[in-house]
Every structure is written in structure tokens, then in C-alpha cells.
Structure 1
């Protein structure tokens, strides 16, 4: 599969003159010859790095058939080609005995050097082909079982290294751009030093043009691609000690890369499927919770109105004392708040049905009012800076309020006691001076979000609130905003006096379809 620096053969013959002649022939053909005069000596000198064994049938201590049987019975050498030589091979019975004992071929003495070399090279090629096929089958089997990135990388580490390479560098790109994130390098084995700069440049070139490179006897680089989708590159290297690549290894490297790329693509699809399934389950739970909330709000609305009316009658009674009147007015205030929340819960569920024109300022303010008690309990100062005048846009009102709600909850969780929350709205104008975007900003002066967390903050199920967060709030918000043709971004600082976080949501005033009813 990969050529060793020394192409070693074991030649076993009890005649010293014959060993000398055979060694000269084989060495002139580029082989290194290990000699043995007995079967015992041959078995002692045998090791897995030997390419083939040339074995005389007649030996002083044991027959060549017995030596062959022992070679083939050992797992370490069972696949090693054995060429038996004998002057008696003209006898068909002896030929059959040699082949049935495990010999891969036979030749009768005397043999012409060209014929001998052809036989030896043919046996080595056949052995290499079988080893390559077994290797490819094992790779295919292992990779087909790998349904996540970690298992694919483990397979590369355990199977590619060291059988095909001493070191393997997996260079992945995170996006479609040719030079995008090509610093995302995995190495096998993991303690391998980083990818050298010159090989990094080669990997980028391979990713750019999709062409495999046989750089030298110790380095091969091939693209990782599925169809027309280029995922990255594989760089295989050998330590220049015992073995080297030949140009024929390039096709095997490409085959290995194709199998690895397919496994990576399957892992990505499986991960996406799992994420979508989890999101669907969570979405169904949220929808069920919304329906339940709407049903509860509907059921308690009438009793709330009745209690409110009764409290109003008590409040207007001439027999009530001033102290009781104060209690009643406080109760009326709380009942009014509870009625408002119930109506908003019912209205929120109804607002999920379709897009309509509404005022962003009013929607943001209504949502903020629901959370004021929570902010007050934590002594959080709330500032509102709304753009003057209504900010009309066409969108699914309930979904926009869901985004606002998620951002407010995140800010609440991030803020310390006596912290400050700022909620503001603004507009953006196009080249003609017309308003094309409405903008919402939610700013807190919490401790800020570290950059490594910001990079993943909109990914589904990513959360820093283990045990309490679902990891779906910001992902759902990003999905809603994107669906409406808008953008959501985060700016955060963890150091200095201005530490804190700002989420900015921009939504287009004019949607793709403007023929929605007004609410």
C-alpha cells in the first residue's frame, strides 16, 4: 500500500551458493534480501515488514511446506506472499501439496531471473491490492457507522493513522468561501504539532481549485468534497524514516478523502435532522403552552370582570372606611393589571395567525409593562427611549412580541440588582430619505458576553443557563427576524466601565407582501 524505504524479501535455501546468486539477482532489482539457511532461522527472522518469502521446499531441519504452514498460521504474517521453489515441482502431486499448504505460487528450478522477478513483483502487487481493498472496506464500514463529527475524526485517527500516514491534517472550511475559516484544523493523532505554514498554504490551494497534490514522497494533499460541495482538504504526511509514498498512492488518498467527506456530510445531515427534530418538539410544546395559556386567559377573564365590578361597588360605597378604601383601590389596581395580562395572553395567541400593520412602539411598551414587576423586584432601573410618533410596520405581531419578550428575559437574567435596562426604538432611511427599517435596541449593563459565547449565541440549544434555559430563545428570535427579512445582532463588552450587552433588531417596514389587514 505504502512503500517501505527498504523492500525486504526473505530468501530461504540451505545452499549458500544458491543464496548468493539469488541475492545478487534480487538486489539488482532493488530489493533488500534477508537470508536464512534453515526453517528455524527463517521463522526467527520473519517479521511483518517483509514483502514476500521465497522458500525452498527441501530444508535440513523441516520441510518448506511446514515453514509455509507456520507462516500462514500466524495472524501477523498470514497474508504475506510465499513463493515456493523446488527442482521437484514438475510432479503435480508436489505442486498441489505446496499450494494446499498455503503457498501463493511455485516455480521449478532452474528459473530465469526475469521470470523470478516477474513472479515476485506480481505476488507483491496482488498482496498490496488485497491489503488496499481490505483497508478500504474497513474504512467504509467504520465511516458508515459514524453519524457525528467526533466519530468521523476518531475513525480517521484510528484507521488512517498509522496505516496510511504518520500524521493526518483535516482542514475544514466553515462556509462556502474558499478561504473561509481554513484555520479550522484537526490533527491525527491529537498530539501532532500544528499544520506547518507551507502545508497550510497547500491545503488552501487544494480547497480553492479542488485538485489533488502529490507534493513529494512524504506528503499528499487531496480535497474533501461531496459532489460539487467542497468541505475542506486532507493532508497526509509520513515521517521520512521507514516508508514513502509513490504517485500510485494518490488515487487511494482520493478514495479515502471521498469516504471521509461523505461521512462528514452524513454527520452534518444527521446533526441537522436531530436539531430540527428537537426544535419541532420544542415548538410543539411552546404551541401547546400558548394554547393552554389562551384557554386559561379566556376562562379567568369573566371571573376577573365580576370581581372587578364587585370591588368597584365596594369602593364607591359610603359605608367603607378610609383604610379599607385604600386596600380596595390597591386591589383594583392589581385586578386591572391581572386583567391586562390575561387579555394580552389571549391576544398574543391570536396575533400568531398572520401579518398585519401595527405600531412597534406600542407593542414594545406593552410587552415591557408585563415584566415591570420583575424588574422592580430586582431594583432594576428601566429607561425607555422611543422614536417619536408611531413606528408602523407589517409583520406577525405575536412573533415580534415574542422576540421582544426573549430579549427582555435575557436582559433580566444578565442584570445584577440595581442594574440598568434601556429599551429604545429608531428608524433607518433609504437613499430617497424614506423610512425603510424600524430598529429596536435592548441594552443592559450586565457583565457582558464573552466573545467565544457570542460566536454560538444564536445556535439552537446553546445556553449558558444550564438547568433553567432551553437554548431556544435567541435561536427562535433570530429565525423570526430572518423570516421577516430583518437582522438581529449583538454587541457586548466584558471589560471597562461600559461593560454590558446590546441586542439590535432591524425589521423592514415593507414586507414581501403588503396586502395584510390592519389591526
Structure 2
């Protein structure tokens, strides 16, 4: 292994004798020395030689050392260089402060001892080395974070594709009545566990966005009461399977919020799912009401259970990432420890707060969510007339996953539509050109011609008469925006629930 290269020091001073003396001291100390007599010369030498340390006199014949330092800091190629100001005339404290505030790392007043100069240079080199190490570590962490995000996006896509096929298939089975109790139970198990897997995938991807403050809301006027009723429909089968009662108290009138309805559904599904999961006997209580009046009025939702409770030492950290109430080795309750982190972040983004209470193990838990009410809403907007697609529309499904493609075809035909299918983008475009469908469901990650290009081609060749719906395993806001720019009318993230698909088709 070779010896490390000696550090390079740029010595900037217009006094020849002073510059020679400093050069001599630095050379004897083992440093490579380059020099300049003017401020502009210093900037040029810094660019050419990339010194580790610049000894910069404040008083120079063209521009001051202060300005030289400011220009060095403003240039990304020289910003990390250590700068030592020296001066024989500007020695007042305010001048030193000006130099340090302007970007200098240290300040020496001439005349100074040679040992003091060399010790200061060594100190600056240690500082520069530490900064380089820290910068390299930060860059490495940033690269690891980027790769992690790419991996999670790909993981989400790969998990959502099979989930989409399973969810569509169970949707078909549910529409075929059965008298076999065992078969009905098996269908219920498949549906509950598929929904649970879909929520875990969503949480896993959302927590990556939350840690980078990339979560986006799409707020609008939302009545919280129907949102909670929808959540109750989702969690009721799980409560039934555990023999738990759901005690619900909702107001008779609306609770209007400026909120993202999808995110609120995610919040309260998480809270109720946790309450049910951590309760072995008794029940779960959901209560929503308005508290306060005027501008201070809030919607308050309480989710209370009679379950395992939260230990006092865990309670202060329950909303932290990967915190768990169930810390036993067997981890029988499952979960990733990220749901409550998502809950807190999403509620904070809505301008609200969430708190947790528990009297300890065995005494249950209560989570209280408070959200500001929207006082501009007096009544709900008039509902739009839904279009009944049951009359039999021409629908094109472009999907490369064979199971998902077949399940979607069977479901749509069960609803009475005429369905054509294609396994890739090129065949999808060819089918649409031969007989234009009224609606096309297009996967984004297609071989050959991806879904974005399919949409652009169909918009250019078929026109705006066709309705286009993107279906993808990538759920990022960027992907949604890109889909809309490509010409899609809607963007759906897999797995798409049959009821949700039915609603979207009706709205289009």
C-alpha cells in the first residue's frame, strides 16, 4: 500500500516576503504548496489545483479575501475547501466575525508563530476529512434509500398483481350463491386475508413515503360519517370471525371535513383493525361526535377496546415506527409496526391529532382522533346520476398477468359486458383499432408497449370517445399524474375490489 498523498495548501498573499515565509513553513511541514498574489488568481488556482486548505489574506490588491471566500463557497467545485483567513490590519473582532460568517473556517492575526499556523492547518485538515467521511456516508445512505424505494415499488407491484387476480376471483365467487356453509366460510377467509394483505402492502409502501415526507393528500369536502360506515363494512367480517361485538355510535347529522377520504378510510381501518386484532374477548367501541362550537369545533372519533392493553413503558412510543404493543417472542398478533405511524402522520397532515390511552396490560386501549370541522359546508353536493353499465358495454382488458386477465374477463362478463382481452400493449392497440371499445382497462407494466403509450396511441387514433382506466401495482402519486397526462380518465391501484371497480365504471 502506497504512502498517502500530502495535502495541498494554497497560500494567497500580496506581500512577497510574507508569502515566501508561509510557503517555507508549509513545505517544511510536508505540504504541497501553491500560491497566488491576488484574489482573482486565488480563484483560478483553487479551480486548477483543488487545494485541501486555502490560507487567504483578507487585504488583497483586487478583491478582498472576504469576497474570495464568498465566491469559493458559492461554487460547488470549491465549496468544501477549508479556508483560513489571515490579516495584519483587520484585526478587530467585528472583522473576524465578518470573515467567519462569510464562510471562513478559522482566523489568524499576523504575525503568528509557525507552530500556530501548522497546528491550525492540521486542525482544518482533520475537519475537512471528517466532513468528507460524513458526506460519503450521507451519499451512501441516500443511494441505499433510493434503492430501497425502488425495491419497495417493485415489491408492491409484484405483490399486487397476484392479489388483484385473487380479489377479482373471490368477487366472482361471492356473486354465485352457495348452500355449502363450509365453502362460504372458506370464501370469507380468502376475502378477509386478501384484504389484509392488500392493506399491509399499502402500509409498507406508504411508510417509505412518510419517512421522506412524500405523502400527498387529495383533499375535498368529505362527510366523515359515511367514511366510518364504509370502514365498518370492511372490518365487520374480521370482528365476526373473532366473536367480537362492534358497538357503534355515529351522529345523525354530517361531520364535514376538508380531507382526503381515501386516507381517512386508511386511518380508521388501521385503528379498528388493531383494536380487533388485540382483543380476545369483549368488544370494540367506535364513537364519533362533534365537540366544541364555532371555529374551535372538531370531529372526535374514539376507538376503544377491551383487549391486551399497552404497557406504560410502550405507550409514549406507540406511534413510533416499528413500535409494537405485542412484544412477545411468538408475535402472535402479527403486523409490521407501521400502522400507527401512518395514522399519526396522516392525521397531522389533516391538521388534527391522535392520542393513545391505556391503563396497562389487560385493561384495553383507547385511541382518540380529533379533526377540524369544515364550517363552509352547509349541505352535501348534489349527487350525479349514475350510468348503468349493466346494459352490456364493449370493454377491452389489456393485462399481461394471465390469471388476473382471465379473472377480470369473467367478472365483467358476469356483469353483462362484451369483453375482449389482450396480453400486451401492441395486441391491445390492434384490438382497439379493429373494433373500438367503449371502455378499456389497461395495465401499466405491459411488455412491448407500456400502458402509458397504449393510452397515448388510443387517444390519438380512436379519440376521446373511449374511456381509459389505468390499473397498476405502482401506487405513487407520480404514477397517477403520469397516467392522467397520458390520457387515462382514472388511475386504479391493484388489487381493485370488485365493488370499487363497479363504482368507477358507473361513474365513467
TM over 0.5, yes or no? Answer: no
TM range (shorter): 0.3 to 0.5
Higher RCO by CA contacts (8 Å cutoff, separation 6 or greater): 2
Please say which structure displays the higher CA radius of gyration: 1
State TM-score, norm by structure 2: 0.38
State TM-score, norm by structure 1: 0.37
